[in-house]
Amino acid sequence: NAGVTQTPKFQVLKTGQSMTLQCAQDMNHNSMYWYRQDPGMGLRLIYYSASEGTTDKGEVPNGYNVSRLNKREFSLRLESAAPSQTSVYFCASSEGEQFFYGYTFGSGTRLTVV
């Protein structure tokens, strides 16, 4: 099925550990995004990639890095996990450029940092 695929679905990390969240889309979308979802906070943008080869910070980028590996893949890395990064992480994609029909979201990664 076409869409956005995120791995892993669940992860428990110890404080200070590192990990990479993977995201891939097969809709030939130009733009990709990483959000985190916390209770009562809605979804907040961490990083985005408007097109292949570009990345930019969003609202809450501290503690994260990203890589737009190619047009399909956009990964999010936590170099030294902290309990404050316990959250549900969503990757999304959109057509980009002059077309915008909203985002297609992945099913999320539930991350717990202990």
Partner 1 sequence: QQQVKQSPQSLIVQKGGISIINCAYENTAFDYFPWYQQFPGKGPALLIAIRPDVSEKKEGRFTISFNKSAKQFSLHIMDSQPGDSATYFCAASKVQGAQKLVFGQGTRLTINP
Is 57 or 77 the residue whose CB approaches partner 1 more closely? 57
When binding is defined by CB under 8 A, the residue of 24, 81, 94, 113 that contacts partner 1 is: 94
Binder of partner 1 out of 34, 64, 74, 103 (CB under 8 A): 103
| Residue 85 main-chain phi, psi, to 5 deg | -90, 5
User: Is the distance from CB of 71 to CB of 97 less than 8 angstroms?
Assistant: no
Residue nearer to partner 1 on the CB measure, 17 or 58: 58
Q: Distance between CA atoms of 28 and 37, rounded to whole angstroms?
A: 25
Residue nearer to partner 1 on the CB measure, 79 or 97: 97
Interactions with partner 1, residue window 13-72 (CB under 8 A): 31, 33, 35, 40-45, 48, 50, 56, 58
**Closer Cβ to partner 1, 68 or 106, answer by number:** 106
- 107 binds partner 1 per the rule CB under 8 A: yes
- 4 has which bridge partners? 25
- CB-facing half-sphere around the CA of 37: CA atoms within 13 A: 13
What are the structure tokens assigned to 21, written together?
């969240």
Q: What does the DSSP assignment read for 3-24?
A: SEEEE-SEEEE-TT--EEEEEE
Binding footprint of partner 1 on the chain (CB under 8 A): 4, 31, 33, 35, 40-45, 48, 50, 56, 58, 90, 92, 94, 96, 98, 100-108
